Amino acid sequence: MGLERYKGIVPDWEGFISACSRPLPTVIRTNTIRIDPSALRARLERKGFSLTPYPGIPELFRVTESCVTKTIEHWSGLFYSQEAAQALPVIALSPQPGETVLDMCAAPGGKTTQIAAAMENRGLLVANEPNGRRQQALLSNLNRLSVLNASVTSYRGESFPMKIKFDRVLIDAPCSAEGTLRKEPRLREGATQATIRRLAGIQRRLILHGYDLLKPGGILVYSTCTFAPEEDEAVVAFLLSSRDARLEELVLPIPHATGITHWEGADLPAELSRCARIYPHHFDSGGGFIARIRKP
């Protein structure tokens, strides 16, 4: 069925389909470890680039010219190029200076470097990435963006050692990635059911272990870049049925849809409406899912 399976849950279906067929805009996130957003904007505009800020997210700019990534400002780590939607999980996580934070699935490092900037390079940030090839990209970005408080590990997420407990854990889970369809047109056909089932099994193991790694009162953010409820709400529902976890209301600075509580004839826990679904037509980006969970 491809994307048609989501027709009943996507608000403004025509707007969604229209946005999916357009190319992604070029978006950059200021590396506030190195430079203030206003200073970066002024510097790039002096070079002839056209920057438009995102309301409510001062670090993000839409840039008219895609060649901005060929500048010395990019090479020297003053900004990171990414989809706008990918900034939202770290905003939901809200890491603070001096905390102990785990990014369980860290490569290529966009969210890791955003976490480090929010922490002002203070505290302990563990960037975990089991794939050796992807770890090289992670290490390169940590170095380029001047991250000093990160320790890189290479455990399977579901086997991460339990010797330390964290104030916050981010699980940006491996997923079927349907939300990246604007840069990967083949994904417009949707993921296969076999792929979704396989990934959902991995995601359930990751979210359970990530939750167990939290200190009491700690925060877990679970995010994906897919539309599939089996990988989104159903994974969070699994955690809620397995642990005394509390879903928190999400406050995001952009338009979004709420999590669904009914899918393919089955009811899901009512509190899943506190989750957020991001669709490409919400603010001209990719799509995804975010849940913020507290350990009592």
Residue type, 254: I
At 85-141, the pLDDT tens digits run 999 999 999 999 999 999 999 999 999 999 999 999 999 999 999 998 899 999 999
Residue type, 97: P
Asked whether this chain's domains 2-24+83-294 and 25-82 adopt the same fold, the reply is no
| C-alpha 262: how far from chain center | 24
Q: Rounded to whole angstroms, how far apart are CA atoms 195 and 105?
A: 19
Superfamily of domain 25-82: Sun protein; domain 3 (3.30.70.1170)
Is residue 173 pLDDT above 90, yes or no?
A: yes
**pTM for the predicted model, two decimal places:** 0.97
Share of the chain above pLDDT 70, in %: 100
Tell me which fold the domain 2-24+83-294 belongs to. Rossmann fold (3.40.50)
At 198-222, the pLDDT tens digits run 999 999 999 999 999 999 999 999 9
Q: Rounded to whole angstroms, how far apart are CA atoms 182 and 198?
A: 24
Q: Which of 102, 88, 87 is closest to 209 using CA atoms?
A: 102
Q: Rounded to whole angstroms, how far apart are CA atoms 248 and 292?
A: 6
Q: Tell the residue number behind the tokens 């320790």, with chain if given.
A: 151
pLDDT category of residue 1 using cuts at 50, 70 and 90: low
Question: 146: left (phi > 0), else alpha (psi -120 to 50), else beta?
Answer: left
β-bridge partners, 58: none
**Tally of helices (H runs) and strands (E runs) in the chain:** 9, 15
Active-site positions read 225
At 242-267, the pLDDT tens digits run 999 999 999 999 999 999 999 998 99
Distances in whole angstroms, Cα of residue 289 to Cα of each of 81, 120, 134, 225: 20, 26, 23, 6
Helix (H, G, I), strand (E, B) or coil at 199: helix
Measured distance between the N- and C-terminal CA atoms of the chain, rounded to whole angstroms: 40
Domain boundaries of the chain, sorted by first residue: 2-24+83-294, 25-82
Task: Look at residue 230 in the predicted model and tell me its pLDDT.
Answer: 97
Is 242 in contact with 262 (CB distance < 8 Å)? no
Helix (H, G, I), strand (E, B) or coil at 44: helix
